[in-house]
Structure 1
């Protein structure tokens, strides 16, 4: 039985802080087949540590506003949005945050945004 590939388009954000600008980079797309596990990455420049500031993930399907999925600071500090299944999970290593989607489903075909912040941030610019 053939399975259709599900492109998962990723977009980046820039975080403009009071002293420095952290550039957030995501790969242009990730593909997977139904039932597979995919791992989306979000890399932050400038020596930024995900475990110090955290990372959030949003999902957007055509014609709908972004849906909050989860935030991740550490294995002991994470949380999901209302109704988000536990097959969506977060993790991080240094300056790279990850969103893992287990048991990929057709409805997971969407744009995924990562968002990060720090306490000195004054402005958030979306590209």
Structure 2
């Protein structure tokens, strides 16, 4: 089966960024990164010494159009290189160094078009406050996401979060 998209670039754009009362404790991702099908794409997530740099759990989530978020990478201070849940293709990998975490997609596929989220807890905010930032991989217009979502977190159980739109 031949893809009709050929070498069209996929664009990674910042979808949302939560700040507000957490102005000193945020996760940031680049405004945009582009890549072509089959290429290696990295999404960085920069935090601080109280969250990503502290060795806290860092998770990456993927939300395909019309579905809820699913965990694609989870890690902890005991296994910081990133772990994939069952069923997640091995082209997805996670790593962290210093105050930054990285999601790498090796061999970008059309079906990787989705919203991606970096998540970590922050020890300055009681260690249980979870910070999120979303980024979108797209090559065509998409409709706005749902205003909130719930997911099963490996450490915290069922949690529900609003999306913060910038």
Band the TM-score falls in, shorter-chain normalisation:
0.7 to 0.9
Look up the match of 1:121.
127
User: Cα RMSD between the aligned structures?
Assistant: 2.9
Q: 1:99 aligns with which of 91, 98, 103?
A: 103
Correspondence 1:19-58 to 2 at 5 A: 21-45=24-48, 48-50=51-53, 52-58=55-61
Check conservation: 2:46, 2:52, Cα contact below 8 A: no
Give the TM-score, by structure 2 length.
Answer: 0.62
Q: Which has the higher contact order (CA 8 A, sep 6+)?
A: 1
Q: Give the aligned length.
A: 124
* Secondary structure, aligned partner of 2:118: strand
Aligned counterparts of 2:56 and 2:77: Cα–Cα separation in 1: 10
Check conservation: 1:8, 1:109, Cα contact below 8 A: no
How much has 1:22 moved relative to structure 2? Answer: 1.5
TM-superposition CA deviations, 1:39-91 (whole Å, max 9, x none): 10001135544461121000112221112101133694532123101110001
Greater alpha carbon shift after TM alignment, 3-12 vs 62-71: 3-12
Greater alpha carbon shift after TM alignment, 92-101 vs 73-82: 73-82
* Structure 1, unaligned runs of 5 or more: none
* Structure 2, unaligned runs of 5 or more: 1-5, 132-162
Give the TM-score, by structure 1 length.
Answer: 0.78
Q: 1:118 to 1:85 in 2, by over 3 A?
A: same
